[in-house]
């Protein structure tokens, strides 16, 4: 299937999915209560991320895994914050977004059949995201336990970068 047909298929699936969702919200009181519930409003955002991933699988567009992970991950964060009421965590939770990109890169690489490069690139983004989350979370009071250990995260990151510098073959 060529790219034009795949994109048309993806667009059609999005329209059909949205139409089914909004029709269900209009016709079913239970679905309406779920959609507009106090704690469930982030779930459609998670569903949108899942839908993007499924469309990527159906149309075999591995690149859709990246925005799917970003949207789904942000939906997951919103759900957690909504349930816990810990909205102040946005001051450091934004640092997880590069990790969502890393997960998307890994999934896209697995779909393309190139897992090694995807694991390296996505793994680096995950590591960077975790280090940033630990640092900002400890500075901004969200991660009390990590508060005293964030220098260790910097040291570990530095050792990994140093090891990479020495283990790479020399370019001539």
Q: What is the 3-state secondary structure (H, E, C) of the chain?
A: CCHHHHHHHHHHHHHHHHHHHHHHHHHCHHHHHHHCCCCCCCHHHHHHHHHHHHHHHHCCCHHHHHHHHHHHHHHHHHHHHHHHCCHHHHHHHHHHHHHHHHHHHHHHHHHHCCHHHHHHHHHHHHHHHHHHHHHHHHHCCCCCCHHHCHHHHHHHHHHHHHHHHHHCCCCC
Q: How do the pLDDT tens digits run along the chain, 172 residues long?
A: 676 777 777 778 778 888 998 899 899 998 888 878 777 888 888 988 998 898 888 888 888 999 999 999 999 999 989 988 888 888 888 999 999 999 999 999 999 988 888 888 898 899 889 888 888 887 776 665 555 666 776 787 788 777 777 766 666 5
Token pair 């409003």 in the structure block, residue: 41
In this prediction, residue 27 carries a pLDDT of 92
In this prediction, residue 110 carries a pLDDT of 92
Give the contacts of 62 (CB within 8 A, at least 6 positions apart).
56, 107, 108, 109, 111, 112
Task: Report the distance separating Cα 56 and Cα 66, nearest Å.
Answer: 10
Q: Is the pTM of this model over 0.85?
A: no
Where do the domains of the chain lie?
A: 37-167
In this prediction, residue 170 carries a pLDDT of 63
In this prediction, residue 147 carries a pLDDT of 54
């Amino acid at each position: 299937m060529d790219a034009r047909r795949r994109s048309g298929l993806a667009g059609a699936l999005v329209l059909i999915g949205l139409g089914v969702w909004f029709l269900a919200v209009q016709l079913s009181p239970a679905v309406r209560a779920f959609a507009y519930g106090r704690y469930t409003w982030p779930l459609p955002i998670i569903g949108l991320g899942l839908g993007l991933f499924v469309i990527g699988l159906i149309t075999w567009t591995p690149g859709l895994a990246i925005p799917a992970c970003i949207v789904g991950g942000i939906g997951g964060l919103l759900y957690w914050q909504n349930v816990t009421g810990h909205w102040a965590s946005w001051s450091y939770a934004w640092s997880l977004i590069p990790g969502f990109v890393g997960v998307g890169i890994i999934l896209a690489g697995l779909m393309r059949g190139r897992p090694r490069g995807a694991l390296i690139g996505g793994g680096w983004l995950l590591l960077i995201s975790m280090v940033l989350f630990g640092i900002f979370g400890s500075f901004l009071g969200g991660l009390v336990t990590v508060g005293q250990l964030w220098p260790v995260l910097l040291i570990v990151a530095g050792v990994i970068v140093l090891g990479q510098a020495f283990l790479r073959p020399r370019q001539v």
